[in-house]
Chain A
């Protein structure tokens, strides 16, 4: 189990780095997919079968949709030339490095409390009872947020959206 975890952890982190290193947007999408799938695998190791499978299925679909958009906006489709489009490269690396050191130090130095209780026999059952019971507000907010997103994306994608090209021409 430990070997599986370390393999998945290294894959997740390395694929995350690869997203910003590879020379084509399509490759970056699949690197991100690899990172997300490794995290889904880690969830399966944590006995969170429902959430692990949910992450895997959802992210495969999400990255496939992303790949379609990538092809539409694609720069350098075949990766035939270097593709670096960054601003403030050094500053971003310094900030990201400092944040990593800070977070890792916090994770390693904090005296974490001991585990309270044992995982339930069926974590999915516990999650289902929770979101349909005491945490139903979370489920309701998620539902409304998804509906609002659907409406907002359609509104934004129409010709009368935020960046209307005809605005100011009397239309």
Chain B
């Protein structure tokens, strides 16, 4: 287990999540892509803490924030999808382009 191996894993998770966030039409699947991206960030945060400066807890604090952001993102995402679904019966990104200029 090395810092490089963990960072490559983080990069892989981030890239897979990015693919999902860019390509998925269903908003729920898009949110799964975002979760995977934050998952990669969490791995990188833990790796930096363990392999670079374990004496200060900065990396741990970063992971704590990222995990919280993950939960909040899901809560807000589902609230928006529910409101949208209730009003229009859609849950696809292509049908929710209200702010498009």
Interaction A to B: yes
Taking Cβ atoms with an 8 Å cutoff, the residues of A that contact B are: 1-2, 5, 9, 12-13, 16-17, 19-20, 25, 28-29, 32, 35-36, 39, 42-43, 45-48, 51, 54-55, 58, 62, 65-66, 69-70, 73, 75, 85-89, 91-93, 95-97, 99-100, 103-104, 107-108, 112-113, 115-120, 123, 126-127, 129-131, 135, 138, 142, 145-146, 149-150, 152-154, 156-157, 159, 161-165
Note all chain B residues with C-beta closer than 8 A to A88.
Answer: 22-23
Task: Please name all residues of chain A whose beta carbon is closer than 8 Å to the beta carbon of B1 when the two chains form the complex.
Answer: 1-2, 5, 45
Q: Chain B residues near A113 (CB, 8 Å)?
A: 52
Closest chain A CB from B46 CB (angstroms): 5
Cross-chain contact B29 with A85 (CB below 8 angstroms): yes
CB pairs A–B below 8 angstroms (22 shown):
A20-B20, A29-B32, A32-B35, A46-B49, A51-B63, A51-B67, A66-B28, A69-B78, A70-B28, A73-B81, A88-B22, A92-B18, A104-B11, A108-B7, A113-B52, A116-B52, A127-B61, A142-B68, A156-B76, A156-B80, A163-B87, A165-B88
Instruction: Say what secondary structure dominates the interface of chain A.
Output: helix
State whether B29 touches A35 (Cβ < 8 A).
no
Contacts of B51 in A (CB 8 A): 112, 115
Residues on A with beta carbons closer than 8 Å to the beta carbon of B65: 138, 142
Whether B82 lies near A28 (C-beta < 8 A) is no
